[in-house]
Each structure stands twice: as C-alpha cells, then as structure tokens.
Structure 1
Amino acid sequence: MSSGTCLDSHQDGLITSCPWDPRIKGQFFHQTAFSIPLTRVKGFINDIKSLVKIEPKSLCALERSNGVLIRYVTSSSAFLGKEEKALDFDLTYYRSKDEPLTPRLYEDFIEEIEQMGIFKYNALPHWGKNRNLAFDGVIRKYKNANTFLKVKERFDPLGLFSTEWTNQILGLKGNVTIVKEGCALEGLCVCSDDAHCAPKKGYLCRPGKVYTKARVCTHICYGSSVNVSSLIPNFFSTISILNSRSVMNGASPAHSLVSTTAVAGGGGSSGAAAGLDDFHFPPDIPSMQERKDEAMRVLKADLMTELDKEVKSLEEDSWMFEGPRSRIHLISRRGNFLKKGGEVKLW
C-alpha cells in the first residue's frame, strides 16, 4: 500500500503511523495473490506440503512478513470475475527496497509456489497484487473475455481508459513478459536461462522440486558439474552436483545438496558409478577396507583444497563426508563449519 487514512493522523511523532508509511522504516514487502477453484485447492496445499517436507524452513520467507492470508471468495457474473467458488491466497514476502535484484530468502521455493498456483492449478491472479509473469496469457482464463472486450470497445472506442499495461494483460497489444538479465528475480519473466537469475550470486535457473515444469532461481553451490580429474588422477573423473531433492545414504532430502560419485579413472562409460575394486590403487594398499580409507583420505584432502574458497563463502553451510563405502558422498548441511587437520566435522 502507498496510502491510508492513518497518513492523515495527528502530528504525534509518528506514533500512530501506518506500517507502510514512507516516513518511517516500517514494513516493506510484496504480495502475490491468486484464487484457486475450491475443487483444486486440496492438490495445491498438498504440493506445498511436499515442498515443506523438502525444506521445513522454506515458508519462513513468508511467515516473517505476515505469512499466507487465505479467504473464501464466491463466484461472480462479472465478465472478468471469479467463475466459480475459490480460495484466495495472498503470499506476503520481503522485497529489497534498494536492490530489487537481490535474491529473496528461499527464492526458489516461493517462486515454485507462485508458478504452481498460476500455471498448474490455473489460478486467477489478483489484478493488482502480482508480478508480470502471473498475467502472461491471463485473459485466456476467462470464458467471457471476448464479451468484455466487445463492451470495452463499445464504451471506450478511443482507448481513453487504456494504458500500455492494460493492453498487454488483455492480450490486445504487446506482452507482459520482459526478458533481460535478472528478470526472474523481479517476476518480469519465468527464467529460461541462468542469466535471468543471479548467477554471480550462485542463483541459477533450475526446474521446480515438486512442480517440475516450474523454472525457478535456485541457489547452486558450484554449478552443474565440477571436473576434478586433475586433482585425483586415476581415482575419480567427475563430481556430479545433484539438486536438493537427492537422497543420499539415508540423509534428509532437505539437507542433501551435493553428491560426489566415484567413477572409474580408466575405461567404462563416462559418469558410470564404479566399485572401488575398479580403481588403480598402489600395491601397498591391498585390502578393500584400506582402499576405502585411502580413497576417503585423498578425497577429503584434495577436494577440500579445491573447494575451500567456495565453502568459506557459504557461512551458513557445513560439509560432511560419508558414504555407503562403494561410493563416497559429500553432503552440505546447514550448521557450523569446522576444518581441522584435513578433516571436516559437523556438529
């Protein structure tokens, strides 16, 4: 909101000022609001629950700014009204006032909820509380759209009450989507390229975690893959960076972010996982257990040397090595980071 009756309150040192009063450092947030037919609400809520299972803290991005407001709305005979009874969802979240291209807390989760509602569940967007992407093709969602446009043309043939924006959302001229660097962070587009997010800050365009047709700006530690063949000759040839849905060695999907898979140094198909018997170990390491221990030691020492700079930049993350012994995993978890004598410990 930009105004309200409390802006006209008595001069009392702004004690009774509105939370959104520009004269004080009050609340600054953005809202995404849409209505989902009652017949489809259950599926939408279940999908959100699935997202929360992946990262239980993901909705904190909404909860700290008044959360999700829900209200029932009835159907309307208006040409651009609700065509059936629905549930209205208002998602309220922080948006940087000074740097709008700054990624938000749990950016990918909130973007996925937004796209899930608008595209998967065919939600009708609030005409004011939304970002550009919600209005892409929105007029096609209304069965009486053509009737509305005919009435509009009859009463306003010169377009005196039209603007470039109304022409875009009504599908008359132009498109609401604006494709440029960082456009997905502001909802000007749905990302289709990493440049639409914030690649320099580690946010890349990736599929959704539950609604996989979504394209969201996800924080990725090291891109899609890192080649470490030069670090550990004849032992490992690639590291596969998996998304946050990977479940490794019984770890929670919410905490398992990165998987390092042992790959045969010579022969075999590229990227195919191999047992430790396939590696070329020095003759003085005969037993399988000793081979496992040596592989773990080399991985910890050499890999941490390479990744140390990256890890230091992620103060909220910590790293732990573990694995089912035929493969070795590097797991990133939120917590404190401690590196001591080449060992990485999590507590």
Structure 2
Amino acid sequence: MKGPYLYVSYGQTNALVREPYQKVLIGLAIVALILVPFFAGPYVIYLLNLSFLAVISAVGLNLLTGYCGQVSLGHASFMGIGAFATAILDNVYSAPFWLAIPAACAAGGVFGFLVGLPSLRFRGIYLAITTLAMHYAIVFVLTTYQANVGASATAGIIVDPPSLWGFSLSDGKQWYIPLLVFSMLVALFGLNLSRSYVGRAWIAIRDRDIAAAAMGIDVPRFKLIAFVVSAVLAALAGSLGAYFTGVVTVETYTLELAILALAMIIVGGLGSIVGSIFGALFITLLPFVIDYGFSALPRAWRPGTTSYGLQEAAIGITIILFLLFEPKGLVEIYRRIAEYFERWPFRYREIQGGGR
C-alpha cells in the first residue's frame, strides 16, 4: 500500500525520487541539458558552465550551513585554495589534471579541518566572525604568493587546459559535459550524504546541539566532518574553475563571492540539495538576465556603467524578499506547485481558527 503521502517502509520514506512524474521531469531535464550544446550558442553554454560550478560550491555550503547549522563566511577562501593548489601543481610540477584535482580537494579538506576547529568552541555570530577572519588570513597568504611567486601580481597565474589521451578541454563547449557530470555527481553525493546517518546527525546538531549530544551524537566530530566536506567541495569548484577560466587570481575569491554563495542557499532553500541547485542557477543567471533586459531598452535608457551596481542591488533585494515572504526558498515554491498538482482536482483548505 502506497499513496502520495503514506509510506509504509523506510525505503519508501527515504527514496530519492518518490513519484513517477518526478522521474519524468528529471529525465526531461537531463535530456534537455545534454542537447543544449547542439542548439545553444557559446554565450549560453558559458553561463551554464558557470552555473554548474556554482552548483558544486552551493551544495558544499548548504551541507555545512543548511544541514549542520554552521554559518561560514569563508567559503570563497576554500575555493581559492583549490584554484591556487591547481595552479601550483600545473605550473611548478606539471601535474596532470586527474592528479591535480584530487590534490586540490585534499588541500581544501585540510584547511577546512583547521578552520572547523574553532567551531568546537564558537557558535552563531562568533563562528561567522571566526570564519571571516580565517577568510582574510587565507586570502592574505594567496595574495602574497601571487605577488611574490606568481608570474604577474595583477594578471594572475595561467593554468594550461587539461588534456587526456590527446583530447584538450580548451573552450566552453568542450567543458560543458564534464562540468555537467561533476555537478550532477556532487548533487547526488549531497543527496545521499544528507539522508545518511551523517546527515541526520548534522540536522540534530543544527536543531539543538545539546540535545544531539545527549542522544549520543559526537558533536565535535560531526561538525569537523561538515567543515571538511564543505571545504572539499568548495576546493573542487575552485579547481575546476581554474581549469575552465585558464587563469587564477586572488581578486576572484573575495568576500563578495562568499556572500553570493550564501545568497544561493538562502534563495534556493536552506537544508535542501535541490534548493542549492535552484539557488545556484538563479543567483548566477540573475545579473546576466538583468544585462539582457537593459540591452533590449533604447540606448538612451540604458544605465551604462551603473549596471553592475544595479545587479548587486537586485541580488540584495532578492535575498530580502525571500527572507520576508518565502524563507524556505525556491524549493518550497516548487513543493507547493507539485503538491497542488498532486491533489488536483481536489482542493485543500487550511482550518481557520478563531471562529465558530
């Protein structure tokens, strides 16, 4: 016996895809994404590649902040560690990409462990300030390396396109499928990890760490695991981004990038891997949609050099609107739409209290 809202086994409750229509939607989305390079232009493919990198980063941050409840403002620095580790391995040691990427992830994991140590003593705003301080410390080290060791203090460090069996990934179209696969694998990893005993321990710590400790959960251990996993995924995004752009510069990994990562999981939905995907796509594409809208206006009405400020303002306003009107993010909007069609043509009305 199984209905839309009644599950009689643990397997049904914990299933990744519960309804047939969800399988159809996922299948159609995958087919559409695979067919994009055959119909879309280079600019659209470039935007989607940026979105795939953002998905990897957002999933990592959501595991830490959305599931474990540890607020971090140092996510961009972990991406910088992955990018600079990749650049160093490529320029100094001529390491192949299949070795440089895991090494960059390992470097991110080490720094994630070190940054996570203060989380054992701090929480809330104090933890956020601590991660912010660590962010500036890491950025200072990366800046010093770029200025004193790198080929150019302003132009950054050049990273050669990776190649495997004579096939080089040198343009956006060639990068599309690899980045799509990486983002899908990371999303699948996040979904399964969040449903495992590790993810359930994170949720217990997020909701009430004292109660979690009373139930026998090793709170310090699971907090460190959250920081390490988040840092590894951020370093993976940074490493892939270094190969994709072909240049690594410390100016990319600023506090603004960390705020954008937070915006992605807030807009998409805290504590939701699907929300991470929605938020990453929304925040990444929003500035370009605004630019496209302005380009359609008459030339006299275009904002010119102020368009960048308008993009930043739009992201800020978007965060405020979601916090005010839909704190659970885009994934909650999707849930409501799906629930409406699941119950159609029957309507559900909430019980109105206070009257007889």
User: Is this a same-fold pair by TM over 0.5?
Assistant: no
TM-score by length of 2: 0.23
**Larger strand proportion of the pair:** 1
TM-score by length of 1: 0.24
If asked which structure has higher relative contact order (CA below 8 Å, sep 6+), I would say 2
Rg larger in structure: 1
